């Protein structure tokens, strides 16, 4: 409908108004034209220009004005505002849609001119039409809609007069930094480039760089997303980070450390750090008064090496401090010498290249049903699938900082689950258990009626919240209102049920306006799935209300701060959807109650959260160990430490009513700092449960009953009482011993005993990460079986960067670890210790030299009284580190005591006969072989697994060996299948001790690790669970060499030699 004012404009145009008076009337009228209920500035406007009329020329009473316009139009002509070109016969047709394909109704379309000029708005179908716009390739449109990033599109150049364009709007959000600057080391006078990349919608358009927290002047350093520093000085050492900003907000990168040293200064400290390994029981060292030997260690930190030409974000070659010189030393033991390699000098070397892996298993939280063949997404890209048993393996890119994975069930039995999984940055694998929430069965709704869906169904308690969906709120993705029956599945994660904590989506973090990451405390999250009656078409919903019962918010200060959030599955961060307003209501009950009411739309995102930002934060220091000795040298890396933050029931601090947050971190060489909520004023304001797992196996916490032992727990009094440490079996011995609870009491700055751990204020994260082993910390430990590993070249399977390129290295390649096991059956009334002695067999650099030894104790068959079985590791044959030639490892399998070999697996024997050279076996008390080169299977009694992580390779191979199959796994030893060797052993005399029994008895009087205070009584040793049948990673434990047994190392000339197996080889015959 054209108004009266519009008709006047058209009339004046027809009259050719050219006088000053006409222009004064015409121009204001042309400035706004109302069509229907909307008023616009028309694009097509006549270019009015005053000229001298020949009939009025010379008239002194008439003033002529000429307007100048510098725009040149390749087609059409300039409009009256002189800001664009117009083509009366051209029309642009457009369609605007959202990410899921639904129409972007009411999106505003602007022309980019001197000032943004509103041209039109999209209708309910997302369609718009603009007449008069020239298709000259120079006109730019901006399309805006609330909560979505502005889209910019250029009208394409064309000879056609009717054009069509399609525009998709992306949800507006804060930038996300996907590449942070790297740690680098340089010398004075050199240059460095630090880079930072972020993405987002809208894309970041500004970067700021900070040095030690201070902003670097952009006009001085001339940076964008990369910072170049030339002619470096020492004072430029320190921490650098960038801040990326857009119209949607800001995000900060991780901190990078730049080390600047003098031109002639040593790149690394040449003196190795102390690193102790445990020796066999008969290798007591009088010099150190212990059973430990210091073999040294070089910390793998970044150092200043050779630089290539040019400035790059990532150096072509990375340099780390590593081993530059080792020497062999003979350790004097009881009647023999034990060779070991000792680090004597560190230097700057090329960093050891490793692979980073994340493995795990995805199962249902309620009954353990595996997610079979589910899809795994990293962002919008599918990167893997789960197996039949729900297992998965993901390779983590080297430059990735935050691993965000989404698990999607193709059968739609489980809610799509997004997880942020921590990993080992220095290489290796971490195992994660992924718990999935089963989708709630759908209910049928009438789209034309008001529908209410409850959130939370705890017995004897009210729902936490309700969803209210008004009539006619459902619509299809094409924008059409849906009328009919709706299948609605709304699955709620109720924090009042503590068992649901591991199902938490993402890591409950958000980014504030300054780009800092802050935690959220949840009051419940819910997944929404609306479909048509047939379940084939997904439906959207608008004007949905969330009614949150304020009585369920037990912490009053949280009522005003409550917000509604949605999850960004690409970043794993939560983004704000809206606020809540307080309303009084008598919903479903006669008494008036207070509700928090929020509004939401259900479109692209289907996962929402009722959360409160929380600023009261702390860190908890936790370490994991191989045994109850809690020695610094026995710390374990790669352990997943999880924390469940609790909100106590008022007046009952030991009976928490709800959890509020779930977090996980991975232990490094100095333990882990776990984020948690805490309170300084009220120690019981927040509580927490802390647990640990490795490879899917839960570690044990230090006991709290019958009496607290501060030395064992690792926290001194009186702070320990304030924290109220309780293991989960404190009151009920039938409960598992794998977690403990504490009050999150923030340390008081005026209390010295509270400022040395294990709780650290949020601003003291660096103190927590760098805390010495003597500082207070909480502890977990592994109940490892009777196993002992010894490597001639020291290597920590937890720290792949500790690998050394040596011919005698047990693992010859740091990116590929091959674990080999042989299954040994023992016929006899007692369990016995079985040892493998592994020496160079065919390689000229290693022949006759010791790689290492392995000891393991056999496990009794519960069904056969006189049968036990052991899965014994041996060093695989293959290429050594130089990849030049193969070495067939000489492996001797020696059971302890009076044993006799009775059989060898026929297929194994045939293989060895057909793959010469072959070791002779004249001594029936042992078995000698040159280890197979091929990865034989269970039919041979050999189990071989290759993986990027040594612990994972050993765990898988052990599981197969226990099971007696080449592709299965078991935690119970099966003695009659997949056996390689069989021995018959007679019963020991009453006075004869096994190796591990002797170890325990000697441990009662043996000196401890130097400088280490034992948390146990001197005579107390951890009991061995005789029923333990779980395959575990091997750990550093003592071994024994009993009288009459041949050790796997060189004896002094005067020592007695027993008959040894000899290997007939051409050209050289080693002596063992």
pLDDT surpassing 50 at residue 663:
yes
CA distance 464 to 548: 6
Query: What string of DSSP letters covers 388-408?
Result: TTSEEEEEEPTT-SS-EEEEE
Confidence grade of residue 589 (pLDDT, cut at 50, 70, 90):
low
CB 97 within 8 A of CB 104: yes
Return the pLDDT at 969.
85
pLDDT surpassing 60 at residue 997:
no
CB 396 within 8 A of CB 422: no
CA distance 342 to 328: 6
Q: Which residues contact 516 (CB under 8 A, 6 or more apart)?
A: 252
Return the pLDDT at 817.
92
pLDDT surpassing 90 at residue 212:
yes
Residues of the chain with pLDDT > 90: what percent?
Answer: 46
Give the pLDDT confidence of 843-884 residue by residue, as tens digits: 999 999 999 999 899 999 888 889 999 999 999 999 998 888
Query: What string of DSSP letters covers 934-958?
Result: S---GGGTEEEEEESSHHHHHHHHH
Give the pLDDT confidence of 458-473 residue by residue, as tens digits: 777 788 899 999 999 9
CA distance 244 to 252: 6
Return the pLDDT at 1039.
27
Residues of the chain with pLDDT > 70: what percent?
Answer: 84
CB 777 within 8 A of CB 771: yes
Give the pLDDT confidence of 898-919 residue by residue, as tens digits: 999 999 999 999 999 999 898 9
Give the pLDDT confidence of 525-569 residue by residue, as tens digits: 999 999 999 888 899 998 999 999 888 887 777 888 889 999 988
At 397, list the tokens. 């890119």
Between these two residues, 218 and 22, which has the higher pLDDT value? 218
CA distance 12 to 564: 55
- Average pLDDT of span 925-951: 93
Starting at the edge strand that comes first in sequence, how are the strands of the sheet with 140-145 ordered? 117-121, 108-111, 140-145, 148-154
At 637, list the tokens. 């890396």
Confidence grade of residue 195 (pLDDT, cut at 50, 70, 90):
very high
- Average pLDDT of span 950-968: 90
pLDDT surpassing 60 at residue 755:
yes
- Average pLDDT of span 1031-1039: 32
Element (H, E) at 612: strand 607-613
């Amino acid at each position: 409908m054209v108004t009266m004012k519009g008709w006047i404009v058209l009339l004046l145009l027809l009259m050719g108004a050219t006088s000053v008076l006409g222009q004064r009337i015409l121009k204001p009228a042309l400035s706004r034209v109302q069509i229907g209920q909307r008023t616009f500035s028309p694009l097509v406007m006549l270019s009015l220009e005053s000229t001298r009329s020949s009939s009025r020329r010379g008239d002194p009473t008439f003033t002529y004005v000429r307007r100048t316009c510098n725009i040149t139009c390749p087609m059409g002509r300039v409009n009256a505002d002189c800001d664009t070109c117009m083509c009366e016969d051209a029309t642009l047709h457009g369609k605007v849609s959202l990410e899921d394909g639904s129409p972007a109704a009411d999106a505003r379309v602007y022309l980019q001119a001197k000032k943004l000029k509103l041209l039109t708005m999209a209708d309910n179908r997302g369609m718009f039409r603009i007449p008069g716009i020239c298709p000259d390739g120079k006109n730019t449109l901006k399309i805006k809609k609330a909560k979505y990033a502005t889209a910019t599109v250029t009208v394409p150049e064309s000879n056609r007069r009717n054009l069509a364009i399609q525009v998709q709007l992306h949800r507006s959000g804060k930038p996300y930094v996907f590449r942070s600057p790297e740690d680098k080391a340089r010398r004075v006078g050199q240059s460095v480039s630090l880079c930072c990349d972020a993405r987002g919608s809208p894309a970041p358009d500004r970067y700021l760089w900070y040095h030690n927290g201070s902003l670097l002047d952009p006009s001085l350093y001339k940076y964008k997303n990369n910072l170049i520093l030339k002619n470096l000085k020492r004072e430029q050492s320190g921490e650098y980070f960038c801040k990326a900003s857009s119209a949607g907000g800001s995000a900060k990168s991780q901190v990078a450390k730049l080390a600047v040293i003098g031109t002639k200064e040593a790149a690394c400290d040449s003196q190795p750090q102390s690193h102790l390994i445990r020796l066999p029981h008969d290798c007591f060292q009088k010099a150190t008064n212990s059973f430990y030997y210091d073999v040294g260690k070089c910390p793998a930190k970044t150092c200043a090496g050779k630089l290539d030409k040019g400035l790059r974000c990532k150096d072509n070659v990375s340099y780390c401090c590593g081993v530059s010189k080792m020497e062999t030393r003979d350790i004097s033991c009881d009647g023999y010498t034990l060779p070991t390699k000792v680090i004597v000098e560190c230097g700057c070397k090329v960093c050891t290249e490793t692979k980073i892996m994340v493995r795990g298993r995805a199962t249902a939280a309620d009954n353990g049903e595996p997610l079979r063949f589910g899809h795994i997404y990293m962002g919008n890209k599918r990167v893997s699938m789960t197996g039949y048993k729900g297992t998965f393996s993901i390779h983590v890119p080297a430059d990735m900082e935050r691993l965000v994975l989404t698990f999607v069930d193709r059968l739609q039995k489980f809610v799509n689950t997004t997880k942020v999984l921590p990993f080992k940055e220095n290489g290796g694998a971490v195992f994660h258990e992924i718990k999935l929430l089963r989708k709630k069965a759908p209910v049928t709704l009438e789209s034309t009626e008001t529908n209410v869906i409850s959130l939370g169904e705890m017995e004897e308690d009210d729902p936490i919240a309700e969803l209210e969906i008004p009539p006619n709120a459902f619509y299809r993705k094409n924008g059409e209102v849906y009328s009919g029956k709706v299948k609605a599945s709304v699955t709620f994660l109720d924090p009042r049920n503590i068992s649901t904590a591991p199902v938490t989506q993402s890591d409950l973090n958000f980014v504030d306006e300054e780009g800092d990451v802050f935690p959220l405390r949840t009051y419940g999250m819910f997944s929404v799935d609306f479909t048509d009656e047939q379940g084939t078409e997904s439906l959207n919903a608008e004007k949905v209300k969330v009614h949150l019962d304020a009585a369920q918010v037990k912490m009053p200060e949280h009522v005003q701060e409550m917000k509604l959030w949605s999850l960004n599955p690409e970043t794993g961060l939560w983004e704000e959807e809206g606020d809540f307003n307080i309303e009084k209501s008598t919903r479903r009950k006669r008494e008036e109650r207070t509700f928090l009411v929020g509004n939401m739309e259900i479109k692209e995102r289907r996962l929402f959260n009722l959360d409160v930002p929380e600023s009261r934060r702390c860190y908890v220091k936790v370490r994991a160990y191989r045994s109850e000795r809690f020695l610094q040298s026995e710390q374990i890396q790669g352990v997943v430490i999880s924390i469940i933050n609790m909100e106590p029931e008022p007046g009952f601090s030991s009976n928490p009513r709800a959890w509020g947050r779930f977090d996980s971190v991975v232990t490094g060489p100095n333990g882990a700092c776990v984020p948690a909520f805490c309170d300084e004023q009220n120690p019981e304001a927040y509580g927490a449960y802390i647990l640990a797992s490795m490879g899917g196996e839960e570690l044990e916490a230090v006991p709290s009953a019958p009496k607290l032992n501060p030395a064992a727990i690792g926290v001194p009094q009186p702070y320990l009482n304030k924290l109220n440490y309780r293991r989960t079996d404190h009151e009920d011995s039938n409960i598992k011993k794998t977690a403990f609870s504490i009050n999150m009491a923030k340390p008081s700055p005026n209390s010295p005993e509270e400022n040395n751990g294990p709780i650290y204020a949020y601003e003291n994260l660096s103190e927590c990460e760098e805390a010495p082993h003597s500082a207070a910390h909480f502890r977990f430990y592994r109940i490892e079986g009777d196993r002992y590993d010894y490597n001639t070249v020291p290597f920590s399977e937890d720290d792949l960067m500790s690998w050394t390129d040596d011919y005698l290295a047990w693992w010859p390649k740091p990116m590929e670890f091959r674990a080999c096991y042989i299954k040994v059956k023992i016929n006899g009334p007692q369990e016995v210790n079985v040892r493998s002695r592994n020496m160079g067999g065919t390689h000229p650099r290693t022949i006759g030299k010791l790689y290492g030894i392995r000891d393991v104790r056999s496990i009794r068959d519960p069904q056969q009284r006189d049968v036990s079985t052991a899965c014994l590791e041996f060093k695989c044959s293959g290429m050594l580190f130089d990849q030049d030639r193969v070495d067939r490892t000489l492996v001797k399998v020696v059971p302890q005591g009076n044993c006799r070999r009775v059989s060898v697996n026929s297929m194994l024997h045939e293989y060895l006969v057909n793959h010469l050279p072959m070791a002779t076996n004249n001594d029936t008390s042992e078995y000698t072989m040159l280890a197979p080169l091929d990865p034989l299977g269970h039919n041979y009694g050999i189990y071989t697994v290759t993986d990027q992580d040594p612990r994972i390779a050993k765990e898988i191979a052990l599981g197969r060996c226990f099971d007696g199959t080449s592709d299965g796994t078991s935690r119970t030893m099966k003695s009659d299948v997949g056996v390689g060797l069989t021995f018959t052993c007679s019963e020991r005399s009453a006075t004869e001790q096994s190796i591990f029994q002797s170890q325990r008895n000697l441990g009662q009087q043996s000196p401890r690790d130097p400088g280490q205070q034992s948390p146990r009584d001197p005579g107390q040793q951890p009991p061995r669970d005789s029923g333990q049948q779980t395959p575990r990673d091997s750990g550093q434990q003592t071994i024994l060499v009993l009288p009459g047994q041949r050790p796997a190392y060189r004896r002094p000339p005067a020592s007695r030699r027993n008959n040894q197996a000899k290997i007939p080889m051409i050209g050289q015959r080693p002596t063992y």
